[in-house]
Amino acid sequence: MTQKTALIWFRQDLRLKDNPALHYATTNGYAVIPVYILDDESAAQWKMGGASRWWLHQSLQSVNSDLREHMIFRAGKADDVLTELIKDTGADAVFWNRCYEPWRVKRDKDIKQSLKDDSIEVETFNGSLLWEPWEILKDDGTPYRVFTPYYRKGCLKKKEPRNPMPRPERITYADHGTDTGQLGDLELIPSIKWYEQMETFWTPGENGAHARLETFLEDGFKGYKEDRNRPDRENVSRISPHIHFGEISPHQVWETIRAYGEINSIPEKDVDCYCSELGWREFSYYLLYHFPHITWENFQPKFNDFPWNAQESQDLERWQKGQTGIPIVDAGMRQLWQTGWMHNRVRMIVGSLLVKNLLIHWHRGEEWFWDTLVDADLASNSASWQWVAGSGADAAPYFRIFNPLTQGEKFDPEGEYVREFVPELKNMPKQYIHKPWEAGPLILKEAGVELGKDYPEPIVDLKASRERALKAFETTKKAS
């Protein structure tokens, strides 16, 4: 009797541990054919951005090495590629872990149906969410729209997340005689080597993911609830790109966090706070599943007539390049450009400036983050930009406008974060590091800064632009 073979379609689950599709195949006696398909065509508008592609390349390299170089690499429409691979390899089954982007939900549903029509066995699994979106509903049967009741009443009261699954003890690879293709054929790495600095910050791949989490547990977990807001400290886990590509699952993170907290007597508030951040990720996916239009349409239609600024000035470009003249904002935007990542507190600050002080549409921020973040994630990115803009579910009220000075002085009190990413200000005394335009000529001279030459004048008057934003946001009140 010949052994049955299964294509394991890898997507955002680039790991061997706690991989439900792979686990199912190996524990049920299938010989395995791992495959990755780069399907830019189906992704359309949400084709992966540049920073994500760099990460993906590294991550695929890592998982392929763990799979003893058995991964098949293909580019093209997933349904065409799978059909061809089934023909070429003679596979009996296709297994994968589910994704939740609207374009994937639709595509995968069609693929599943057509495979079944062709008498191919298909199984799909949950490898990336602690709670399936369709399992969590209010008593009246409709989806939650506010985070706290969603998380507390909907998720936590429902059930504890499942335990992670072990790495397969043994993987039998099918002898299929089909060309595997090359990772390099996917052309994920750009010709201009802008990513060289990112290589020093990150270790993509399953091992790198676990190492990163371990570092956080030891150095940053205690005191997380307070210091998670401090971009000048190492109190956040930076696990987001690893989770996005599925190098580690939220189930593994959840379990590891709680077990470590228990054993090492980490204060409960720190443990619960970290878990609730995983909860925010779940909430974003939940919203994306139930309201797939949130990627582009205002979740709250009363924002549809909002008077956004037309794109005639250089404001957007100055924001993107970290040349707004507001130090905490420029530090964040440059951290993003250099490392593919930005501290969460600073994401809120730069977002608020773009959308409220500059009155630029949240789409522009969403697009820029999509291209530059290594953790770019359709669910989190869409939900978070709408949250900042005020148009989202459980969003910041329209009048909640961050003052980047106050935020900078509160969360980067010594100015160390600014000094790291805005080196032209590194000699400014800390009293003026967040507001160089208030420093006298002597102080500026001593710090070696000429405003407008070494470092820009502020892009907007914060007080006046705040007033302007409040007036603009009045229109949404009338529209409701």
Asked if residue 399 binds DNA (CB under 7 A), the reply is yes
Residues in region 6-65 near DNA by CB under 7 A: none
Nearer to DNA, 74 or 356 (CB): 356
Say how far apart CA 181 and CA 371 lie, in whole Å. Answer: 27
AA letter at 57 = H
Q: By rule CB under 7 A, what string of x and - marks binding of each residue 418-457 to DNA?
A: ----------------------------------------
CB 147, min distance to DNA, A: 6
Nearest partner of 353 among 405, 308, 401, judged by Cα: 401
Candidates 91, 253, 401, 418; binder of DNA (CB under 7 A) is: 401
CB 230, min distance to DNA, A: 12
CB 341, min distance to DNA, A: 16
Q: How far apart are the first and last CA of the chain?
A: 67
173: helix, strand or coil: strand
Say how far apart CA 61 and CA 75 lie, in whole Å. Answer: 16
Answer positive or negative: Cα dihedral of 293, 299, 304, 310.
negative
Number of neighbouring beta carbons within 10 Å of residue 216: 21
Contact 432, 438 (CB under 8 A): yes
176: helix, strand or coil: coil
Asked if residue 468 binds DNA (CB under 7 A), the reply is no
CB 403, min distance to DNA, A: 4
- Size of residue set near DNA by CB under 7 A: 21
Nearer to DNA, 75 or 405 (CB): 405
Nearest partner of 333 among 364, 309, 310, 312, judged by Cα: 364
Answer positive or negative: Cα dihedral of 36, 41, 46, 50.
positive
CB 250, min distance to DNA, A: 15
Say how far apart CA 33 and CA 6 lie, in whole Å. Answer: 6
Q: By rule CB under 7 A, what string of x and - marks binding of each residue 272-301 to DNA?
A: -----x--x---------------------
Q: By rule CB under 7 A, what string of x and - marks binding of each residue 75-104 to DNA?
A: ------------------------------
Nearer to DNA, 15 or 343 (CB): 343
CB 387, min distance to DNA, A: 7
DSSP class of residue 261?
H
Candidates 207, 309, 403, 475; binder of DNA (CB under 7 A) is: 403
CB 399, min distance to DNA, A: 4
CB 343, min distance to DNA, A: 11
Answer positive or negative: Cα dihedral of 56, 62, 65, 70.
negative
Which residues form the catalytic set? 277, 280, 308, 344, 362, 385
CB 410, min distance to DNA, A: 7
Tell me the window of 49-57, 68-76, 81-89, 395-403 that interacts with DNA (CB under 7 A): 395-403
CB-count burial class (<10 Å; 0-12, 13-18, 19+) for 218: exposed
Contact 316, 446 (CB under 8 A): no
Q: Which residues, 6 or more positions from 317, have their beta carbon under 8 angstroms from its beta carbon?
A: none
125: helix, strand or coil: strand
Residues in region 119-148 near DNA by CB under 7 A: 147
Nearer to DNA, 426 or 468 (CB): 468
Q: Which residues, 6 or more positions from 337, have their beta carbon under 8 angstroms from its beta carbon?
A: 321, 322, 372
Candidates 400, 438, 445, 479; binder of DNA (CB under 7 A) is: 400
Nearer to DNA, 193 or 478 (CB): 478
Candidates 167, 222, 302, 410; binder of DNA (CB under 7 A) is: 410
Token digits of residue 362? 């949240």
Residues in region 339-378 near DNA by CB under 7 A: 344-345, 348
Contact 365, 308 (CB under 8 A): no
Residues in region 194-213 near DNA by CB under 7 A: none
Nearer to DNA, 259 or 470 (CB): 470
Nearer to DNA, 48 or 395 (CB): 395
Nearer to DNA, 277 or 371 (CB): 277
Nearer to DNA, 276 or 372 (CB): 276
Candidates 407, 433, 435, 465; binder of DNA (CB under 7 A) is: 407
Candidates 163, 197, 264, 406; binder of DNA (CB under 7 A) is: 406
Candidates 157, 453, 463, 478; binder of DNA (CB under 7 A) is: 463
Listed in sequence order, the DSSP H helices in 185-326 are 196-201, 206-219, 224-227, 240-244, 250-263, 268-290, 315-321
Tell me the window of 249-257, 289-297, 325-333, 403-411 that interacts with DNA (CB under 7 A): 403-411
Token digits of residue 168? 């397969």
Buried b (16+ CB within 10 A) or exposed e, 165-187: bebbeebeebebebebeebeebe
**Which positions touch DNA (CB under 7 A)?**
147, 277, 280, 344-345, 348, 387, 396-397, 399-403, 406-407, 410, 462-463, 466, 470
